[in-house]
Amino acid sequence: MTHHDIVVIGGGQSGLAAGFYLRRAGADFEILDASDGPGGAWPHTWPSLRLFSPADFSSLPGRRMPRTDDGANPDAAHVVDYLRGYEEYYDFPVRRGVRVVSVERFGPGREGDDDEGFLVRAADGRSWRARAVISATGTFSRPFVPTYPGATDFRGRQLHSAEYRGPAGFEGERVVVVGGANSGAQIAADLVRPLAGSGGSLIWCTTGPPRYLPDDVDGRELFRVANAAIRGVGDSGGIADLGDIVAVPPVRAARDAGLLEAIPMFERFTSDGVEWSDGRREPVDTVVWCTGFRPELGHLRGLLPRRDGRVVTRGVEVQGVPGLFLLGYGDWCGAASATLIGVGQWAKAAVTSALA
């Protein structure tokens, strides 16, 4: 068993941000990561994925992301290189290939001593003891796919955006992309021209009309609004009412060319396609679900207090569980905490409280 003051679970962008503040404080800590290499979820995204903001506005605390050669918003490979360099620069104690399966509390009288803290167990039998735990496992490993009638009878292929790796392999296919947010728009834009050029076709299904943010709005403005909401000042509610899709250049180009025409969501699957409520049917080879993710919190089962089905938090702190912190899962545990530029302030808050 290994002992540390702080254990961070997850070595992606949130875990590294926590590592920065822990390293700066001279803390005794270790980062446990299930992956075999650096970058968190970023190595597993599709190559054309673009950040919403320029490199200058997409950095973790302490070290700026280098600009791209062409000045465009960074793609996934650029982000992976940055995260790898960030980890190496600060020489974080990252232990790879560790899949944490449980975290348990212990207190005076347990484990044969008077310490209080947490016991962290890995799938391979290794364990760690720590006074505090920062969970930063993200959402990528828990893709969400809604249930639709007939899905089990559909003979085509279904995959989630987490599995999408680009247009290769879709040549000549009839593809339905489901989802009216950023991943749906970006994947539809990525596929529409290659499919048309290979004799295939694309249908983009959304539950409502696509809502594009103004073309001059990107992650910088979204982050400003998130910060305004945290401080309770300024116009913090306007952006959410303007739209859901950031018009990054590939999306904007496909939209302006008339290639991104969304239609309402289908109602059910058939054996060889999909069907709408008005009886219209279309044959389909592949459905790509761009329907989001759920927090990966299985290792904290039994520890997290819930109210109305939601984890009870105050920012990064888990209410009623001193020493346990959630970092980077979404706005419910810190506004903009799931973004590169936004996670830093919440990582600082978690580390400050964990070391208090």
The domains of the chain, with CATH numbers, are 2-141+293-355 (3.50.50.60), 151-210+245-289 (3.50.50.60)
Residue 339 in tokens? 């973004």
pTM check: above 0.75:
yes
Name residue 268's amino acid: R
Contact criterion met (CB below 8 Å) for 91 and 16 = no
Write the secondary structure of the chain as one string of H (helix), E (strand) and C (coil).
Answer: CEEEEEEEECCCHHHHHHHHHHHHCCCCEEEECCCCCCCCCHHHCCCCCECCCCHHHCCECCECCCCCCCCCCCEHHHHHHHHHHHHHHHCCCEECCCCEEEEEEECCCCCCCCCCEEEEEECCCCEEEEEEEEECCCCCCCECCCCCCCHHHCCCEEEEHHHCCCCCCCCCCEEEEECCCHHHHHHHHHHHHHHHHCCCEEEEEECCCCCECCCCCCHHHHHHHHHHHHHCCCCCCHHHHHCCECCCHHHHHHHHCCCCCEEECCCEECCCEEECCCCCEEECCEEEECCCECCCCHHHCCCCCEECCEECEECCEECCCCCEEECCCCHHHCCCCCCCCCHHHHHHHHHHHHHC
Digitized pLDDT (tens) for each residue of the chain, 356 residues in all:
899 999 999 999 999 999 999 999 999 999 999 999 999 999 999 988 988 888 988 999 999 999 998 888 899 999 999 999 999 999 999 999 999 999 999 876 555 555 789 999 999 999 999 999 999 999 999 999 999 999 999 999 999 999 999 999 999 999 999 999 999 999 999 999 999 999 999 999 999 999 998 887 776 766 666 556 555 444 434 444 546 898 888 999 999 999 999 999 999 999 999 999 999 999 999 999 999 999 999 999 999 999 998 999 999 999 999 999 999 998 899 888 999 989 999 999 999 999 99
Q: Tell me how crowded residue 76 is: count the other CB atoms within 10 A of its CB.
A: 19
